[in-house]
Amino acid sequence: MRFVDIIEKKRWGGELTQEEIQWWITQYVSGNIPDYQVSALLMAITLKGMSVRETQLLTMAMLHSGEVMDLSGIDGITVDKHSTGGVGDKTTLVLGPMLAACGVKVAKMSGRGLGATGGTLDKLESIRGFDCYLEKDKFMKQVKDIGIAIVGQTKDLVPADKKLYALRDVTGTVISVPLIASSVMSKKLAAGAQIIELDVKCGDGAFMKTPEDAEILADMMIRLGKACGKKVSAMITDMNEPLGMAIGNMLEVKEAVETLRGRGPKDLTELVLTGGASILVNADIALDMDDGRRKMSEVIADGTAFEKFKAMVKAQNGDVAQIENLDMFPEASFITPVKSEKTGFVCAERAWELGRLAMEIGAGRADKEDVIEPEVGIVLEKKTGDFVEKGDVLAWVHHNRPLENGWKERMYAAFDIKDERVSGKQLIYKIM
């Protein structure tokens, strides 16, 4: 079998066989196919698509490219949650501890940032000493004892996805339903949790631009999960503006901590309450969504969710003192305001552009080898629908180097300010 034949077959829109897909994944993981050839196939898939059958075959080939976790030794209901990515999306850092405080076992394997979107591992590593890579036995013990562990996938868990994930990021092939679905679900299935919840973002700052496209992706992932005997649900949520106020790894950790203390932004708080309620219903811990929201609200109010977060940080060698006193986090060299040049209402905040701007000053990676500056980023002062006077601060930029010419102008252009207030925003479009 020649890999170039597989590339050409997909280039013309042909359907790959199980043998071809399995051979591709096996040979690539073994190092027998170079990145440049796989990049060509990824682009062909992005342009020509894959059938449901091809996507299922790719998912299973990736799933079995390495170890599959067995969580049956953990008492209780094990859950996993995944977001398809967005700007300012620090949901896992809040939702995970809340769920653990409600009695479910959160066995979460997360990834790094893709393009303008942030990665959970990058955020956690902004906590001094935090270890994202645990041996299997330690991971299992921590989930048993504390109720939550958030780690990166090891070299033995879905190695095919680890290689493809990094390659897609730098070859313009992130936005592909079959590639996203197979990437997400191979990891979720390999991680072994009984219940999987998917937060599928749509809008300007997401890979899926419309609720309809997000629903197609969600449906594909639900079908993949259910075919393997998992309970899978999905929320279609908005990403036309950043989630919360903070964009940037350390800044988002601080915002997550404030949310766990009951002082978080409204949109982030609403998202974790609804997402958590859905999981508790699926886990038979809550009678219905209202009961689930009540339980989730209680663990914020009584502090048990925050204690779970601190316990996880301590168990993974992170500096708990930073979590208890946010002033201990280092600050960027400069904090520069971006001010409104006119009076009116904020009608839009272009999430993707804001994410790109944050990436350009060091909050994310343009290339695989880029080093993230954890303290760098953007903190919004205004959100869509807010009224601003000329001269009001729209956002604060945290940066370590002087801003390049034109950067602030692009930053200001990401805000659409008009005379009339925008109609009501919708955060959650659908629960599936």
Both 87 and 125 in a single domain? yes
Pair 224, 188: CB distance under 8 Å: no
pTM: 0.89
- The verdict on residue 64 lying in a domain is no
Rounded Cα gap, residues 214 and 362, in angstroms = 29
First vs last C-alpha separation in the chain: 41
Both 310 and 345 in a single domain? no
Q: Confidence band (pLDDT; 50, 70, 90) for 115?
A: low
Of 183, 186, 233, 278, the catalytic one is 183
- The verdict on residue 296 lying in a domain is yes
Both 339 and 318 in a single domain? no
The pLDDT score that the predictor gives to residue 146 is 96
The most confident of 175-179, 291-295, 401-405, by mean pLDDT: 291-295
- The verdict on residue 58 lying in a domain is no
Concerning whether 168 is annotated as a catalytic residue, the answer is yes
Q: Domain count of the chain?
A: 3
Q: Confidence band (pLDDT; 50, 70, 90) for 328?
A: very high
**Burial class (CB within 10 angstroms; exposed 0-12, middle 13-18, buried 19+) of 156:** middle
Both 228 and 357 in a single domain? no
Is 390 a residue whose pLDDT tops 70? yes
Rounded Cα gap, residues 188 and 76, in angstroms = 18
Of 105, 123, 163, 168, the catalytic one is 168
Query: What backbone phi and psi angles, to 5 degrees, belong to 395?
Result: -165, 160
DSSP secondary structure code for residue 264 in this structure: -
- The verdict on residue 60 lying in a domain is no
The runs of H, that is alpha helices, within 203-324 are 211-227, 249-260, 266-282, 289-301, 304-315, 320-324
CATH number for 395: 3.90.1170.30
Do the strands 334-339 and 231-238 form a parallel or antiparallel pair, or are they unpaired?
A: unpaired
- Per-residue pLDDT reduced to its tens digit, 3-37: 999 999 999 999 999 999 999 999 999 999 999 99
Residue 315 CA, chain-centre distance (Å), reads 22
Q: Which two tokens stand for residue 97?
A: 């501890």
- HSE toward the beta carbon, residue 140, CA cutoff 13 A: 12
Directed axis angle between helix 266-282 and helix 91-101, to 10°? 40
- The verdict on residue 57 lying in a domain is no
Rounded Cα gap, residues 164 and 173, in angstroms = 10
Both 387 and 259 in a single domain? no
Is 114 a residue whose pLDDT tops 70? no
Of 65, 80, 81, 82, the catalytic one is 82
3-state secondary structure of 283: coil
Is 142 a residue whose pLDDT tops 80? yes
Both 21 and 140 in a single domain? no
The candidate with the shortest Cα–Cα distance to 186, out of 50, 18, 66, is: 66
Do the strands 148-152 and 105-110 form a parallel or antiparallel pair, or are they unpaired?
A: parallel
Domain final position from 290, 324, 358: 324
Domain final position from 304, 324, 344: 324
3-state secondary structure of 430: strand
The pLDDT score that the predictor gives to residue 98 is 98
Rounded Cα gap, residues 96 and 150, in angstroms = 8
Concerning whether 398 is annotated as a catalytic residue, the answer is no
Concerning whether 254 is annotated as a catalytic residue, the answer is no
- Per-residue pLDDT reduced to its tens digit, 236-269: 999 999 999 999 999 999 999 999 999 999 999 9
- The verdict on residue 398 lying in a domain is yes
- Per-residue pLDDT reduced to its tens digit, 59-111: 999 999 998 888 988 999 999 998 887 899 999 999 999 999 999 999 988 87
- The verdict on residue 66 lying in a domain is no
Concerning whether 156 is annotated as a catalytic residue, the answer is no
DSSP secondary structure code for residue 67 in this structure: B
Concerning whether 350 is annotated as a catalytic residue, the answer is no
Both 163 and 279 in a single domain? yes
CATH number for 33: 1.20.970.10
Of 161, 169, 199, 238, the catalytic one is 161
Of 187, 188, 382, 399, the catalytic one is 187
Both 320 and 342 in a single domain? no
Residues ≥6 apart with Cβ < 8 Å to 92:
81, 83, 108, 110, 120, 150
Both 198 and 98 in a single domain? yes
Both 169 and 125 in a single domain? yes
Is 113 a residue whose pLDDT tops 70? no
Both 115 and 233 in a single domain? yes
Domain final position from 303, 324, 345: 324
The residue assigned the tokens 């994944």 is 25
Is 416 a residue whose pLDDT tops 90? yes
CATH number for 149: 3.40.1030.10
Domain range enclosing 375: 330-418
Both 288 and 344 in a single domain? no
- The verdict on residue 98 lying in a domain is yes
